[in-house]
Every structure is written in structure tokens, then in C-alpha cells.
Amino acid sequence: MGGFPKLPPGFRFGAATSAYQIEGAHDEDGRGPSVWDTFSHTPGRTHAGATGDVAADHYHRHREDVALLRDLGVDSYRFSIAWPRLLPQGVGPVNPKGLDFYDRLIDDLLAAGVAPAVTLYHWDLPQALEDRGGWRVRETAEAFAAYAALAAERYGDRVERWITLNEPYCSAFVGYAEGRHAPGAREGRGALAAAHHLLVGHGLALGALRASGAREIGITLNLDRIHAASERPEDRAALRRAETLHNEVWTEPLFAGRHPRDEAETWAGLADGPWRLPGDLDLIGIPLDFVGLNFYRPLTVAAAPHHVADPGQRTAVDIGVTELDPYGTRHTTMGWPVVPSAFTELLRDLHARYPRLPPIWITENGSAEADAVSPDGRVHDPDRIAYLADHLAAVADAVAAGVDVRGYYAWSLLDNFEWARGYDQRFGLVHVDYATLTRTPKDSYHWYRGLITAHRAGTEEPAR
């Protein structure tokens, strides 16, 4: 079923989920609507009209899921808090039943010997805040900091690790520029303002968390290893624009204290907007305890016609890049090429590029496969096992090259609502029958448990 990659003593293993993808109970116990409730209930937005109304029903079945984590043997569980479950309007009155749910979840995790790692924002912005401008406006960043302070005050004594934002690239550009994710906008200025305000919100939330005495604090980015289709000058220029969009919008302010060097070439007149205020870079660049990294596949880009942005326009901006797939490897059911060596390249490049880079946690990595329960009652997923083994080996290669990687969270514990793809993609270590909500651990679950057991048996050193 695949070998076990060798990782250093103290390396830790976990599994990850997010609130809207698994909780369900979308209108129970005082939870307010999020942008994903609105988006998924809009016809034509999601595959087969799927919503997260029920999802994996984790809200009612969390004890069953905590038992799965305990039996899996993970050190840590990364989950997200639903902002509209705590603050139905995003600000203002607090929902006691929402607070109580995460109390129960955290306490049950600790009783099971699993350390809680909390993501504060995994894309479920309260709809009331979107109605007032969403991430396009600074007020949302300020509201996010107040929400972070509330969560830290309630749970900070029991949470091991805090993540402010998950994949702000998707929130800003997939949500506000491409329109494929909530809130479904197609804007240029709005998307760039959202990107900046997400980082401002991160900085403000980091300050609020630290003031509360919260422990390890970081941010999770979905950075890409990007290759140029050729050495032609136009393809190399396309690569620089793609690096700006996918990576440097986040890494340069966070780890180098500056804006991306090629932003004017990428966005022309939209690059330096009025949403940037004096002192923002200092706020955004406050040193972190760690950075989370989500990785699934590499990109290869070639030049396409580049439409220079008009500062007055609101429509989405085309940066003049087309994506190619020259890899010739197996693809997951998401259509993503499986190239583990690109993971090592990305980690090594980050380590070399940013002297201020904090320790890294792999906060998501996994594969979508065509899973089904077999007549023997099991779910056989050898391609996922190979994917996990090869990508963990790629992490081990990066560690051997000097990159400080502290741990790895498999995505995902459960099959779940895969955003606009609905329920046609399965990433879980545990199969969920969406008709009955029955959980069935897959072969990959048992493989991962074996890896964790073997790792612990090979070292007596404590985790860092």
C-alpha cells in the first residue's frame, strides 16, 4: 500500500477541514448566513446546485468525527470557526450557541489527545458584511480583528495554533475577480482592494490574538510553483505576472515588507490603489510564528494577449497568461497534474527567497479521487495513498535541503462540499455517504495511521 517517507524527529501530523465544507446546520442555533450560503443558493453557481446546508453534518456528528481523529492518531486537527456562527451579522451581538459548539468541539479534541488548530477565516464571510462592501472595504478588516479577539478570549487557553486567513488568493481573486467563488464578483479594483484588506485584516487580527495571549499564530497561503512554457521573453514575462498574481501579492508584503516588484506591469493603473494607507506594510509584515502552505499541483504558463487595466474600470483584469499542462503525469479527478517534485521546488524557493520566512507548516495537501465503497465494505484508494506518500517524500527532500518544515495536515479528514464543485469531488481520508451520512475510513486513512505510528516508534524526541 505504499511505503512510509522518513521525516525528522519531532515532525507532526494532522488532518484538516473547514466549517462551511463539513458543518451543515446552516440556519440552526442562531447562525447567520454567509456569502457561501448566498452563492450556493443562487442557481447556476455550483455543480448540480449543491449547497453546504447539510454537508457532512459535522455540527451534529462532531463527536463521531473526533473519534475518527483519535483513532487516526493525529497530533493536531485543523478546523475553521464559522464567523457567522459566532457573530451572525459579522459584528454586534454574539451568538452563545455558536460559542458553545466550538467549546464542545475543542474540549472533545483535547480529551481525545488531539491539539486544536483554528483557522479564523476559511471563506465564509458573514453576508451582512458583504452587503456593506465585503473585503473591498477596510471596515471588514476591522470587523475581522474584533471577531479574532472574541475567539481568542473564548478559546485561547485551549488552542495550540491559530491561522488568521486560509488562501486569501481564493478569497480575493477567485471570489472578487473571476466570480467562480463567493461572492461571485468580477472586478479589477474590487479584487485588488480585497487582497489588500485581507492582509490588513490579517495584521489587525494578529495584533488582537497576541494581545489576548494566544499561542502560535500564522497565515495559510496557497502558493504555486509556476513554470514558464518556454524561455521566450514573452513567456518569461507571463511567468512574472503569474508570480505576482498567485504568490507575491502575499509573500512580498508579509515577508519582505514591500509590494510586488512587477505589480505595475501586471495591473497597470490598478496596482497602487487608494485602499493602501501609510503604515499598512508595517502592520501586514509583523513577524509570524509560522506560515501555513497549501499545495496540490504546479502551473505552467505561456503569454496571452495582455489587456492593460484602466484605473476607472470595475471589470476583471486579464493579466495576459494562459495555463498549459505539459506534465504528462497522472491527474486527480480535479484535473490537476500530480508532480511531487514541484512541491520540493516551491519549498526550497521560498526558503531561499525570504530570509524572514518563519517555520512552515503544510496546512493542506491531498488528492481528489473517484472513491466508492466496495462490496467488501471498504474504500480502496491506492492513488491517494501514492499521492500522499510521494508528497510527504517531497517534503522530506525539502527538509533535508534545509527548509524548516514542522508538520503536515492531510486534506481532508472527511469527504465534503468542495465549493463550486459541489459533491462531485472527494478528498477525504474518510468516505461520507451523503444520503445516509455514514462515515467509512478509506484505505488511505489506515495508511496514514500506519505512517504516524511508524514515525512515533522511530523517535522519542518531543515535538518542536
Shortest CA distance to 202 belongs to which of 217, 190, 223? 217
Cα-based torsion angle of the residue sequence 383, 384, 387, 390 in order, rounded to the nearest 10 degrees:
-90
Asked whether the bond before 341 is cis by omega within 30 degrees of 0, the reply is: no
Neighbours of 38 (CB within 10 A): 17
Is 364 designated active site? yes
Give Cα 157 to chain centroid, integer Å.
24
Residue 462 CB-density burial (10 A; 0-12 exposed, 13-18 middle, 19+ buried): exposed
Q: Is the dihedral of CA 176, 177, 182, 183 positive or negative?
A: positive
* 142: annotated active-site residue: no
Instruction: Please give the DSSP secondary-structure letter assigned to residue 397.
Output: H
Q: Which three cell numbers mark 335?
A: 484535473
Long-range contacts of 109-115 (CB under 8 A, 24+ apart): 109/66, 109/69, 109/77, 110/158, 112/66, 112/67, 112/69, 112/70, 113/70, 114/66, 114/69, 114/70, 114/74, 114/75, 114/76, 114/77, 115/75, 115/76, 115/77, 115/160, 115/161
Helix, coil or strand: residue 372: coil
Residue 403, classed as helix, strand or coil, is coil
Q: Classify residue 365 as exposed, middle or buried by CB count within 10 Å of its CB (0-12, 13-18, 19+).
A: buried
Residues in the chain: 464
User: Under a CB-based contact definition with an 8 Å cutoff, are residues 403 and 343 in contact?
Assistant: no
Instruction: Determine which one of 130, 187, 263, 364 is catalytic.
Output: 364
E strand or H helix at 300: strand 299-303
**Alpha carbon distances (Å) from 337 to 17, 221, 329:** 23, 20, 6
Give the three-class secondary structure for 228.
Answer: strand
Q: Grid coordinates in use for 128?
A: 451582512
E strand or H helix at 216: strand 216-221
Catalytic-labelled residue, pool 167, 216, 248, 252: 167
Burial of 375 (0-12, 13-18, 19+ CB in 10 A): exposed
Active site residues: 167, 364
